[in-house]
Amino acid sequence: MTDDRAAWQAVSDDAIAHYLGQRYAEGVELVRAAQPGLPGWRSDLAHLAACLLSLAGRPAEALAELRAAYEAGGWWHRRILVDDDDLAPLRALDGFAELVERSHARATAAGQATRPPLLHRPAGPARGLLVALHGAGQDADDAVAQWRAAIDAGYVLMALDSTQRNTPTYRSWPDPEVADRDVAEALDRLPPADRALPLVTAGFSAGGRQAVRWALAAHPGTPVGFLAVAPAIGPDDLDPGWVPGAVARGLRGRVLLGARDDDVRDDALAALDTLRRAGVDCRLDEVPELGHDFPADFARRLPKLLAELPVSTGGRA
């Protein structure tokens, strides 16, 4: 992680702590003070400040914050402005709808802006292919860092950037059809030898949701297993039509979830219960005291989780 990226993450974490503590005015000043040193995150910082200002009862200032960032070259996908309940008081203000459309047009013009998938191979013969999907606000570099232990376990590790961006720097997987296309195109770019390996889909948070969905749906390149850390998934993200095929082909999944993950825990547990009741081999590992994050010892845990998946008998369609 670059110094700027680390600085942005620190500011974001601090601002969210102020948000959760309802210390909105203090949070705004914190974000504004960080803006000169983080020009690459101008759009993200403006969105944070606008949310805090709106919750502080200052919607006109919130709109002005967004306008200033837009005039400086920033942009947001329509969904981040329209679907964010924190910004609801801005919707009645003159100029907000126009800003949304102008910003979205700029987001569309900016395009997908992705790199080729990142690919890392083990030193010896590969026993499987692990496709790692980053969490919301992250990228393929983060996924490589998080899942790197798979390489020493004998897996080819492929990580890809989502093409879906809320801001110039914020990627996630909100549209499942687009996410499916991203994964399919990345797999298609692999050499035949890598494509022939047993496939395991893996992901964190929003990437975990996509990893589970891809594995269940039996896309071309059918996975033999999935691994998800803190998946942002609920029962509504699961298509019942996927389950019979997943059970018939012996799909096996492992989910790691923090006991203190207030972000996704309830929905994820409900989704897992749905899958297990339907007959999918899906085990949950709960980590005490962990929030919405990877456990500190994940590099030790990952090879053990991979060893529980049927890569020795699995294959790719």
What pLDDT was estimated at residue 2?
Answer: 58
**Is the confidence at residue 313, as pLDDT, over 80?**
no
Say if 312 falls within a structural domain. Answer: no
DSSP state of 224: S
8-state DSSP, 57: T
Q: Is residue 316 part of a domain?
A: no
- Specify burial of residue 52 (Cβ count, 10 A radius: 0-12, 13-18, 19+): buried
Same domain? 147 vs 295: yes
Q: 81-136 pLDDT, tens per residue? A: 999 999 999 999 999 999 999 999 999 888 766 789 999 999 999 999 999 999 99
User: Does 315 reside within a domain?
Assistant: no
Claim to verify: residue 293 and residue 208 sit in the same structural domain: yes
Q: At 114, phi and psi to the nearest 5?
A: -115, 160
Rg over alpha carbons for the chain, rounded to the nearest Å, is 21
Which of 61, 79, 110 lies at the terminal end of a domain, its last residue? 110
From 13, 15, 6, 92, select the one nearest 50 (Cα to Cα).
Answer: 15
> Among 107-116, 144-153, 289-298, whose mean pLDDT is lowest?
107-116
Contacts of 134 (CB under 8 A, 6+ apart): 140, 142, 143, 146, 159, 161, 162, 171, 203, 204, 207
Same domain, 37 and 162: no
pLDDT band at 315 (very low <50, low <70, confident <90, very high): very low
Q: With pLDDT > 90 as the criterion, what percentage of the chain qualifies?
A: 90
What is the number of structural domains in the chain? 2
Average pLDDT over residues 140-169: 96
Q: How far is CA 155 from the centre of its chain?
A: 22
Domain end, chosen from 93, 110, 127, is at: 110
Write down the pTM of the prediction. 0.89
Query: Could you tell me if residue 62 is inside a domain?
Result: yes
Whichever domain contains 130, its CATH number is: 3.40.50.1820
Looking at the fold, whether 158 and 245 belong to one and the same domain comes out as: yes
Query: Which of these three, 110, 141, 173, is where a domain ends?
Result: 110
Residue 150 near residue 121 (C-beta atoms within 8 A): no
Contacts of 138 (CB under 8 A, 6+ apart): 171, 204, 207
The verdict on residue 83 lying in a domain is yes
Residues 6+ apart with CB under 8 A from 193: none
The answer to the question of residue 317 being in a domain is no
Same domain as 264, residue 167? yes
For the chain, give the number of residues.
317
Question: Based on the domain organization, do 106 and 139 belong to the same domain?
Answer: no
User: Do 139 and 222 share a domain, yes or no?
Assistant: yes
Does 132 fall in a domain?
Answer: yes
Structural domain for 195, as ranges: 118-307
pLDDT at 28 over 50: yes
Q: What is the pLDDT of residue 309?
A: 93
**pLDDT at residue 109 in the model:** 87
What would the pLDDT profile of 170-227 be if each residue is shown by its tens digit? 999 999 999 999 999 999 999 999 999 999 999 999 999 999 999 999 776 678 999 9
- Do 134 and 104 reside in the same domain of the chain? no
**Residues 301 and 168 reside in one and the same domain:** yes
Q: Are residues 168 and 105 in the same domain?
A: no
